[in-house]
Structure formats: structure tokens, C-alpha cells
Amino acid sequence: MSDSATTAIDEAYLRRTPGSARLMERASVHMTRGLTRSLSWFAPYPVVFERGSGSRLHDVDGNVCIDLFSNGLSLMHGHAHPSIDVALREALSRGTAWPGASDAQIEFAELLCARLPGAEQARFANTGTEAAMLAVKIARHISGRQVIIKAWHAYHGSYDDLEAGLEGQGEVPGRVALADFGDIATYERLLDRHAGQVAAIIVEPIQYTGVVTPPPDGFLPRLRSLAKEAGVMFILDDCLMFRLAEGGSAERFGIDPDITCLGKWIGGGLPVGAVTASAEIMGIFDPLGPDPVYHGGSFNGNLLGCVAGRIAVAQLTAAEIERIEGYGVRMHAEIGAIAKEHGVPLSTPGIGSVFGLYVLDGEGGEIDWSASAQLHKAAVTHGVYYGSGGEFGLNTALTEDDVTEAIAGLRGAIEDLALARAAVGEPA
């Protein structure tokens, strides 16, 4: 999409967000582009928010957006969840973090192990990044090998080894080899090429970074079997997709990981990460064992994160998962119909409550990233917020009325995009 076709959408966004413009200019003095995370950026500047409440985001200009992004899937129950809010206020009077265990920490570990297939013990961290780092550390220690196999474009946090395959970064010789998500043959070739050197295969069940990509039918169970056959550990990065069933994506896809990584929403809005595995695997951390592995972290399993996290996990029931997945199915169908009505080719890949929204350069064509960015900006102007890269992650605070309102806002955004393209003679 040419730049000249974006004027009307850009101008509408600028009129809506003058307060965000001023604050982002100020923020840029001491933070690059005014940000402290890459995911938030979009041109000409991102929205500056003032607060969140339930399914709504409120910005500094007094605008309200329905939140269909959930802070990158880290807010499973929306903003300022009442039960979590009350529990945190009560917990604050007890302190925030202690050098030993707490009742909340014990209860949270029990809950996670009860829900996740193969989980007998948990180890807490502060982010999904830390959880993935710890999982790799475990696999390398137990196996005595160094190579980790992961997929191109898969995101497992901000750890150098696990950033291989992202943003133009290639393999890390002797440490990370890259396969193609969904293509078992590429994993088989890597296992042959690095025979005797592979510690683990790590996989996210649905790729979410870049382009949302669900797994082909049978891919994850086959990959799990391949790891067993090769005698390497299988790490499931479920930081994002623990939402797919009460037992996470292991339950959803029928797999039994050696190690599961958790993060994002399991903190109930606070930064919490975790690793779960069998008691035998976790035994490497036993301080009375023969060769204990050190794992530090002043805020691992802190009181507030465990209090909020236990509530968040307990309240994501099968019924709630079914409800928001139903919203996702509805949105897929209605967005597709609206786009067809206005001649805007779209792709909405995903599963249930997690999907992407991309404008194509023609029916069945490639993603038009410029047009997709304009659609996102138009959606924000119409009161609908999803990820600037086209990512959706629905939360349980949403209602049928919210979904109806969001679809109406997306209709307005699609209409704006169609008009902008027609104004410069481009195909809708």
C-alpha cells in the first residue's frame, strides 16, 4: 500500500491522540522511541494509556478501546480483575517478598502441578524468558549436551540462544540449530546432523511472534515422539498457550512434555514465570543432592505474584475457555464477511481465542504489512486495540456486547482502509 493512501487514516489517528503525541515526545528523551519494549511500537507513535478496567483500555486523551490484545496475552482476565485486586490489597499488608517459602507459593505450586500433564514439581522465576532459560539450563545439565533445536521465528524470550531465528539472527554454532515449524523432516535432519550433541527440542505450540501460525494436524505429537526416539528432552513453551485448556496446550494437543515453561498470564497481571517437570528432573536443584544446580532469584515465587497467579489460574476454567474461544470463532467469521463485503483480502490464522489479522496483497496472496499497519491504526481510532503486528488474544473480561462493539469498530476500520485504497486507485 502506497504512503499516499494512508493520509486519512493517519490524520484521524493524530486527531484522536494529541496527548499521546506529547507524552511520547517527552518519553523519547530518556527511552529510545519512548519505549522500553519492542512490541509496543507503531508509527507515528503508540498510544499512552492511563488505566485499564476489565475489557477496556483508557488512554491519556480520554479515549476508550476494547482490549483484544491483553498486553501480549499476559492478562487472561483483563485489567484490574476484582478478585485479584482484593487479594493483592490484603497481601500487601504482609509484605512483598521473603527469603523462604510462603503459603501462597506452596498453594500455587500445588495448583500448577495438579493441572499440567507430567508436572510433579514447579520452580518459580519472574518471567517467561527466565523460565525458558531455566528449562534450557536443566536440559543441558541433565544431558551433558549443549545443542538446542528450536524453530525459525519462534519466540522464547530475550535470551541470546533462544533469540536465534528472530530478526535476521541465524543459528548459534554448537548451541542452537533451527528447524521449520510444522515440518518434521527439518527436525529429523537436525537430529541426524547433530547426533549426540542435542540436549532438547523446544517448541511453542502456536507461533505467535511475526505471523500467528497454528501447528499442522499431528505435528506436535509427532515432534514429541521424535524427541523420545532420539533420546532428547522435549520442552514445551506454554507461556502464551497455557490458555488453550485447563491443562494447557499439552492437554489440548495430547502431548507429554519433559519440561513445561510458563509465564505471561500466570502471574495474574504481575511478572511471574515457572518451570514444571517430574520430581526426578527437578531433583537437580536439591541442595542435599550429590551435585546440586544453583538457581537464584530474589523475587522467585514472591508473595504478590503467587497470590495473584493462583487466582488467575484457578479462574481459567474449561467453561471460560470455551466461552472466549466461541468469541474468537464469531470474530473470525464476521471479520471475514465484512472484509469480503468491502473487497479487502484478509487472513485470520489461529485457534480459538488466539489469532492474527493481516491484510493480503490479493486473494490468497502475501501479507501486505503496510496495509496491515494501517488497518491496526484505523482500528485503534475506532476504539479497538489489538497487537500492532496483527495479534489478537481474547480475555475472559470480554462479554458478548464487547465483541459486538469490537466487530463494529473493526468494520469501521476495514471501511476506512477500503476508502483509502480506492482514493489512490489501488485495489480494495
Q: How far apart are CA 237 and CA 122, in angstroms?
A: 14
pTM of the predicted protein model? 0.95
Q: What is the three-state SS of the chain? A: CCHHHHHHHHHHHHHHCHHHHHHHHHHCCCCHHHCCCHHHCCCCCCCCEEEEEECEEEECCCCEEEECCHHHHCCCCCECCHHHHHHHHHHHCCCCCCCCCCHHHHHHHHHHHHHCCCCCEEEEECCHHHHHHHHHHHHHHHHCCCEEEEECCCCCCCCCHHHCCCCCCCCECCCEEEECCCCHHHHHHHHHHCCCCEEEEEECCCECCCCCECCCCCHHHHHHHHHHHHCCEEEEECCCHHHHCCCHHHHHHCCCCCEEEECHHHHCCCCCEEEEECHHHHHHHCCCCCCCCCCCCCCCCCHHHHHHHHHHHHCCCHHHHHHHHHHHHHHHHHHHHHHHHCCCCEECCEECCEEECEEECCCCCCECHHHHHHHHHHHHHCCEECCCCCEEECCCCCCHHHHHHHHHHHHHHHHHHHHHHHHCCCCC
Contact partners, residue 46, CB within 8 Å, separation at least 6: 20, 24, 34, 35, 40, 388
- CATH 3.30.930.10 is held by the domain 3-76+318-423: no
Q: Model confidence over 293-339: pLDDT tens digits? A: 999 999 999 999 999 999 999 999 999 999 999 999 999 999 999 99
Residue 193 has pLDDT above 90, yes or no: yes
State the average pLDDT over residues 250-261.
98
Q: What is the pLDDT of residue 428?
A: 56
Angle 10-14-18 from CA coordinates, rounded to 5°:
165
Q: Model confidence over 146-189: pLDDT tens digits? A: 999 999 999 999 999 999 999 889 999 999 999 999 999 999 99
Q: State whether the Cα torsion 352-355-361-366 is positive or negative.
A: negative
Domain 82-314 fold is: Aspartate Aminotransferase; domain 2 (3.40.640)
The CATH 3.90.1150.10 portion of the chain extends over: 3-76+318-423
State the average pLDDT over residues 375-388.
98
Residue 6 has pLDDT above 80, yes or no: no
Q: What is the pLDDT of residue 5?
A: 47
Contact partners, residue 392, CB within 8 Å, separation at least 6: 68, 69, 328, 331, 350, 353, 354, 355, 356, 357, 386
pLDDT band at 102 (very low <50, low <70, confident <90, very high): very high
Q: Model confidence over 213-245: pLDDT tens digits? A: 999 999 999 999 999 999 999 999 999 999 999
The CATH 3.40.640.10 portion of the chain extends over: 82-314
Q: Mean pLDDT of all residues in the chain?
A: 95
Neighbours of 177 (CB within 10 A): 24
State the average pLDDT over residues 411-420.
96
State the average pLDDT over residues 117-121.
96
Q: How far apart are CA 422 and CA 110, in angstroms?
A: 58
Residue 1 has pLDDT above 80, yes or no: no
